[in-house]
Homo-oligomer: A and B are copies of this chain.
Amino acid sequence: MKIRPSLPQGTRDFAPQTLRKRQFVLQTIRGVFERYGFQPLETPAMENLDTLLGKYGEEGDKLIFRILNNGLDNPAKHEAAMEGFRQVLEGRNSTTVTERALRYDLTIPFARFVAMNHAQLNFPFKRYQMQPVWRADRPQKGRYREFWQCDADVVGSPSLLYEAELASIYLDAFRSLGIPVSVRVNHRGLLAALAEACGGAGRLTDITVSIDKLDKVGLEKVMEELDRKEFPETATAKIRTYLGVAGDNSERLQAVEGLLGGYEAGAKGIGELRWLLDFLRRDDGTEPLEIDLTLARGLDYYTGMIFEVKALDAQMGSIGGGGRYDDLTGLFGVPGIPGVGVSFGIDRICDVMEEKGLFPASLETGSRVLFFHLGQAEARHAWTVMQQLRARDTACEIYPEAARFDKQFKYAERRHIPIVAFVGSEEIAADTVRYKDLSTGEQRTVPRTAFLDALSPS
List residues of A whose CB falls within 8 A of some B CB.
Answer: 1-8, 11-16, 19-20, 23, 31, 34-48, 50-51, 62-63, 65-68, 70-73, 78, 81-82, 85-86, 88-91, 98-100, 102, 112-113, 115-117, 122, 124, 126-127, 132, 134, 136, 145-146, 157, 159, 161-162, 164-165, 168, 172, 279, 331-333, 366-367, 373, 379-380, 383, 387, 390, 393-398, 400-401, 411, 414-415
11 contacts between A and B (CB under 8 A): A2-B331, A4-B332, A13-B43, A20-B39, A35-B390, A35-B393, A68-B98, A124-B400, A164-B383, A165-B397, A279-B383
On whether the beta carbons of B113 and A172 are closer than 8 Å, the reply is no
**Provided the pairs A39-B16, A39-B366, A401-B157 are in contact, do residues A116 and B82 lie with their beta carbons within 8 angstroms?**
no
How many Å lie between the Cα of A380 and that of B277 in the bound state?
Answer: 12
Residues of the B chain whose Cβ atoms lie less than 8 Å from the Cβ of A86: 78, 82
Complexed CA–CA distance, A154 and B144 (Å): 30
Partner of A16, one of B46, B70, B127, B387: B127
**Choice from B14, B89, B398, B414 contacting A42 with Cβ under 8 Å:** B14
Docked-complex contact A46 and B11, CB < 8 angstroms: yes
A contact patch SS: mixed
Report whether A414 and B122 are in contact in the complex, using a CB–CB cutoff of 8 Å: yes
In the assembly, what is the distance between CA of A117 and CA of B415, in Å?
15
Question: Would B70 and A122 count as touching, CB distance under 8 A?
Answer: no
**Are B70 and A67 in contact, with the CB atoms below 8 A?**
no
Closest approach, in angstroms, between the C-beta of A419 and any C-beta of chain B? 12
A68 touches B66 (CB 8 A): yes
* Pair B70/A63 contact, Cβ less than 8 Å: yes
Q: Taking CB as reference atom, which chain B residue is nearest A369?
A: B37
The CB with the most chain B CB atoms within 10 A, among A124, A279, A396, A400, is that of A400
Could you say which of B6, B35, B112, B164 contacts A5, with CB atoms under 8 Å apart?
B112
Q: B366 to A7, Cβ gap below 8 A?
A: no
In the complex, what residues of B have CB within 8 A of residue A45's CB?
A: 45, 102, 132, 134, 146
A127-B16, A157-B401 are contacts. A81–B73 as well, Cβ < 8 Å? Answer: no
